């Protein structure tokens, strides 16, 4: 079978199943079975698929995923995350669009202590959106910052999806985790700047309240007693990796242990909260591992069929520059982000993109961070962006999908501007990993 037919069958078939709504893991398992029969020799191929599947989920580099997820689950189920909102709320006073700014700042803090974009968006949406709407904030202005900062959670470690990307692509996980810090902080600062300017230009978007701020001394107490100790978890995770004291897995274990110790110290850890955190961690981790099981074998079958080499040779034979091919890959990712989820984006593209990255000599850390920004964009792109659906699920009935779609437009524009900045100045993504990890 010529490689064009192999690529059409494997890549086209998996994409078609995803677009038809079949679960990601089952889509790739179905294509793997078909590919094993056609390309790996029937029964012998199916046995090889089974062996590869077992090996794929026994990869030691995947162990940070459940530990990062556990950190976030513990913070949310013990209620410690709510203390962060309260402390930030007391400290930020008399700022245009104050509640929206609080959502961005609190969300940035959550990004440093939790690896779940959905959990961050759902919590901020359920807690802060009703207050913002009651204060007279326009729905299209109130929902935007919450969704946008939830997407930034993917860039700032700890991030389970970053670990998954590093594992599937072969990029250094520790460098990739650290590489997202500066771009993530740039986006957070840009979001705050936009909110303040928009509220100054149109005060009707975010009316000010006379009682804004509350007791600032209480805010400083909450900052010292809750926010700083919780953010120190981020220092533990990143510091252990960058200092060479621990692998990403060991750093994740230290972070989970520190989170558990703080929940005990604050007397917030109950048996019920611990069980709920463990159940949530097991459910999410099981889903991710099932997806990895299908993805790894899919890449192997795609390569064995000749489709990977054929596609790479065809693209390189066009005579395009490395930069032009890189821009093309990013445009494909942005397009896919409109229709499919982030894990599907990785599974469909990485088997073809990574050989191109290697042959073209593109810095893998730079490419990995660009990939993360594209996935972050996909969370916000209408009509199927995951965080758009999350916001619709927690928003009051008066907030429509029209409000939500309009709300993300400026934040999508800022994310695209960040992507352009990274393309023009790769050091934005590569400088910090080079300094901290080497």
Does a structural domain hold residue 17? no
Q: Please indicate whether residue 413 or residue 300 has the higher confidence score (pLDDT).
A: 413
Does a structural domain hold residue 2? no
How confident is the model at residue 8, as a pLDDT?
A: 76
Does a structural domain hold residue 7? no
- Tokens representing 301? 């079958």
Residue holding tokens 């089974």?
50
Does a structural domain hold residue 54? no
Q: Average pLDDT for residues 314-336, to the nearest whole number?
A: 86
Q: Which long-range contacts (CB under 8 A, 24 or more apart) does 385-392 make?
A: 385/147, 385/337, 386/117, 386/118, 386/341, 386/342, 387/117, 387/118, 387/121, 387/147, 387/150, 387/151, 388/147, 390/118, 390/121, 390/122, 390/125, 390/147, 390/150, 391/121, 391/125, 391/143, 391/146, 391/147
Q: Average pLDDT for residues 231-245, to the nearest whole number?
A: 78
> Number of structural domains, the chain?
1
CA distance 356 to 102: 42
CA distance 373 to 371: 5
CA distance 303 to 309: 7
How many percent of the chain have pLDDT more than 70?
A: 90
- Tokens representing 8? 């059409």
Contact 329, 353 (CB under 8 A): yes
How confident is the model at residue 212, as a pLDDT?
A: 56
How confident is the model at residue 373, as a pLDDT?
A: 94
How confident is the model at residue 437, as a pLDDT?
A: 77
Residue 59 has pLDDT above 90, yes or no: no
Among 109, 103, 163, 189, smallest CA distance to 284 is for 163
How confident is the model at residue 85, as a pLDDT?
A: 74
Q: Which of 21-25, 49-53, 209-213, 219-223 has the lowest mean pLDDT?
A: 209-213
Among 184, 205, 187, 209, smallest CA distance to 196 is for 205
Note the pTM of the prediction, 2 decimals.
0.81
Contact 377, 148 (CB under 8 A): no
Does a structural domain hold residue 279? yes
How many contiguous H segments (helices) and E segments (strands) does the chain have? 23, 0
Contact 54, 63 (CB under 8 A): no
Does a structural domain hold residue 274? yes
Most confidently modeled range among 47-51, 57-61, 276-280:
276-280
Among 429, 412, 428, smallest CA distance to 191 is for 412
Does a structural domain hold residue 315? yes
- Tokens representing 121? 């968006």
For 56, 73, 253, 289, the CA distances from 282, given in Å and listed in that order, are 18, 11, 16, 10
Domain containing residue 230 = 61-436
Q: What is the DSSP string of 395-429?
A: S-TT--HHHHHHHHHHHHHHHHHHHHHHHH-THHH
Residue 264 has pLDDT above 80, yes or no: yes
How confident is the model at residue 57, as a pLDDT?
A: 67
E strand map for 248-353: none
Q: Average pLDDT for residues 330-355, to the nearest whole number?
A: 82
Does a structural domain hold residue 30? no
In tens, the pLDDT along 358-374 reads 989 999 999 999 999 99
CA distance 167 to 58: 12
């Amino acid at each position: 079978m010529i490689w064009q037919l192999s690529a059409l069958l494997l890549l086209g078939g998996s994409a078609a199943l995803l677009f038809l709504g079949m679960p990601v893991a089952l889509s790739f398992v179905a294509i793997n079975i078909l590919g094993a029969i056609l390309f790996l020799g029937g029964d012998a191929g199916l046995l090889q698929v089974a062996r590869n599947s077992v090996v794929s989920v026994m990869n030691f580099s995947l162990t940070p995923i459940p530990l990062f997820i556990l950190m976030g689950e513990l913070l949310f189920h013990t209620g410690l995350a709510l203390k962060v909102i309260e402390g930030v709320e007391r400290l930020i006073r008399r700022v245009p669009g104050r509640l929206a700014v609080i959502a961005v700042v609190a969300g940035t803090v959550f990004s440093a202590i939790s690896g779940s974009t959905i959990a961050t968006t759902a919590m901020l949406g359920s807690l802060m959106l009703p207050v913002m709407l009651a204060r007279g904030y326009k729905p299209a202005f109130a929902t935007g910052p919450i969704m946008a900062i939830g997407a930034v959670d993917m860039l700032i470690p700890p991030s389970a999806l970053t670990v998954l990307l590093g594992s599937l692509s072969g990029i250094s996980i520790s460098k990739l985790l650290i590489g997202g810090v500066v771009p993530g902080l740039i986006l957070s600062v840009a979001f705050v700047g936009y909110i303040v300017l928009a509220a100054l230009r149109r005060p009707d978007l975010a009316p000010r309240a006379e009682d804004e701020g509350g007791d600032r001394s209480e805010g400083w107490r909450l900052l010292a007693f809750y926010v700083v100790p919780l953010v120190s978890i981020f220092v533990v995770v990143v510091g252990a990796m960058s200092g060479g004291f621990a692998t990403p897995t060991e750093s994740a274990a230290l972070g989970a242990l520190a989170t558990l110790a703080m929940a005990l110290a604050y007397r917030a850890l109950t048996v019920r909260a611990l069980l709920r955190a463990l159940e949530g961690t097991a459910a999410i981790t099981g889903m991710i591992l099932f997806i990895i099981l299908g993805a790894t074998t899919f890449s192997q079958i795609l390569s064995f069929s000749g489709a990977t080499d054929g596609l790479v040779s065809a693209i390189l034979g066009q005579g395009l520059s490395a930069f032009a091919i890189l821009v093309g890959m990013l445009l494909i990712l942005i397009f896919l982000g409109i229709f499919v989820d982030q894990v599907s984006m990785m599974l469909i593209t990485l088997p073809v993109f990574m050989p191109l990255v290697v042959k073209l000599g593109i810095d893998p850390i730079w490419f990995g961070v660009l990939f993360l920004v594209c996935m972050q964009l996909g969370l916000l792109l209408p009509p199927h962006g995951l965080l758009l659906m999350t916001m619709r699920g927690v928003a009051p009935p008066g907030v429509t999908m029209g409000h939500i779609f309009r709300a993300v437009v400026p934040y999508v524009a800022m994310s695209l501007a960040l992507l352009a900045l990274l393309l023009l100045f790769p050091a934005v993504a590569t400088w910090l990993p080079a300094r901290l990890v080497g």
